[in-house]
Amino acid sequence: AQKVTQAQTEISVVEKEDVTLDCVYETRDTTYYLFWYKQPPSGELVFLIRRNSFDEQNEISGRYSWNFQKSTSSFNFTITASQVVDSAVYFCALSETQGGSEKLVFGKGTKLTVNP
Amino acid sequence: GAGVSQSPSNKVTEKGKDVELRCDPISGHTALYWYRQSLGQGLEFLIYFQGNSAPDKSGLPSDRFSAERTGGSVSTLTIQRTQQEDSAVYLCASSLIFGTQYFGPGTRLLVL
């Protein structure tokens, strides 16, 4: 069965610190997608990134970067020079492309607090 | 363009009553999903609609839960005889086939 583990329940940092959110997944499928979503205090889930299982290139978008390592089944998310507005709950998720449904399996989330 | 919309934003009901939650997906998105977010269980998949295919109902927690999607667009999630454990945020998402899921703001349901 698919499983996503976000071992860090809560992280607290001071503004301008770098922070890495860990995500480890389990799947028996060879084709799958990995995602990160942000849920700010307003509650809406905001899409950040989607990565195909065949594409292990790291990705950088502004202060955000993602490190996908298939060998360790990890898809970690780093925020560089964190800001107060980055405070949110971050969810890692996994979907499979076989079996019909594209349902997402989410980790429990990591609550990030960035203090001024 | 407009995102996924859900109504109502909040719903308070009494135990035993039926409730209906509505989702309007992004125009042109063929896939629609319902998830539930609760403190104890995190984010859980409920049901998936894709075009005219039979829905994937594998996540529905009991037969009190049902959903339909009319005309391939708007969807309604119905909970019959609500229980206190049904209290949660119900999230709807839509996507193109095999595409990224975009979420609505959710309906916060409180069963008293």
Convert the pLDDT of each residue in A57-85 to its tens digit: 888 899 999 999 999 999 999 999 999 99
Put simply, whether B95 touches A (Cβ < 8 Å) is yes
From A43, A47, A100, residue closest to B100, measured CB to CB: A47
Shortest Cα distance from A101 to chain B (angstroms)?
7
Q: Which token pair is A100?
A: 């019909």
Three-state secondary structure readout of A39-97: ECCCCCCEEEEEEECCCCCCEEECCEEEEEEHHHCEEEEEECCCCHHHCEEEEEEEEEC
Q: Residue A98: pLDDT band by 50, 70, 90 thresholds?
A: low
Cα–Cα distance measured from residue B40 to residue B61, given in angstroms and rounded to the nearest whole number: 14
The answer to whether B58 contacts chain A (CB < 8 Å) is yes
The candidate with the shortest Cα–Cα distance to B61, out of B44, B37, B40, B49, is B44
List of chain A residues whose C-beta atoms are within 8 Å of the C-beta of residue B92 = none
User: Quick check: A100 and B100 CB within 8 A?
Assistant: no
Residue B97 burial class via C-beta count within 10 angstroms: exposed 0-12, middle 13-18, buried 19 and up: exposed
Q: Are A32 and A97 in contact (CB under 8 A)?
A: yes
Tens place of pLDDT for every residue, chain B, 112 residues?
A: 589 999 999 999 999 999 999 999 999 999 999 999 998 788 999 999 998 888 999 999 999 999 999 887 999 999 999 999 999 999 999 999 778 999 999 999 999 9
Chain B contacts of A93, Cβ < 8 Å? 43
